[in-house]
Amino acid sequence: MMGRIFRTRTFTRWMRKTGLSDAALCRAVSEMTQGLVDADLGGNVVKKRIALPGQGKRGGARVIVATKMTDRWFFLYGFGKNERANIDKKELRVLHEVAKKLLALNDRQLTHALSVSEIVEVYTGDD
């Protein structure tokens, strides 16, 4: 059981540009539930390598995910390995803040965020 997977508006825009699929996000979450994370960035934020269509993970992308590794996974940010090596301390602070807010949402707040398209739920096929 993967729990619920979401992507932020910013991540969704980036995802469209790269051709990344929801299925790829589900695979990434499946791997993370098994402990396959590339970096724990603290504050319930992790970095994961993800393969882009037609490329392997090595030349692929990096995604930043907010999670407590249990029931909710929020894809916050993505970047191609060729675009940049990593995120800086200032960006990480912002990502920690966003992660804290998203992971603290109760069901009603989550439903509201979905209704105003702040976040999009990824269909996992589990239901």
Across the chain, which distance is largest between two alpha carbons, in Å? 39
**127 in any annotated domain:** no
Please report the pLDDT score of residue 56 as a whole number.
65
pTM: 0.91
Q: What does each of the 127 residues of the chain score in pLDDT, given as a tens digit?
A: 578 999 999 999 999 999 999 999 999 999 999 999 999 999 999 999 998 887 766 678 999 999 998 889 999 999 987 777 778 999 999 999 999 999 999 999 999 999 999 999 998 765 4
How many domains would you assign to the chain?
A: 1
Please report the pLDDT score of residue 57 as a whole number.
65
Is residue 32 within 8 Å of residue 48, measured between CB atoms? Answer: yes
How are beta strands 4-8 and 72-80 bridged, if at all?
Answer: parallel
**12 in any annotated domain:** yes
Query: How far apart are alpha carbons 15 and 10 in whole angstroms?
Result: 9
Please report the pLDDT score of residue 53 as a whole number.
80
**103 in any annotated domain:** yes
**107 in any annotated domain:** yes
Q: Which are the contacts of 48, defined by CB distance < 8 A and separation ≥ 6?
A: 28, 31, 32, 36, 37, 38, 62, 63, 65
Per the structure, the complete domain to which residue 104 belongs is given by 4-122
Query: How far apart are alpha carbons 98 and 102 in whole angstroms?
Result: 6
**19 in any annotated domain:** yes
Query: How far apart are alpha carbons 119 and 44 in whole angstroms?
Result: 18
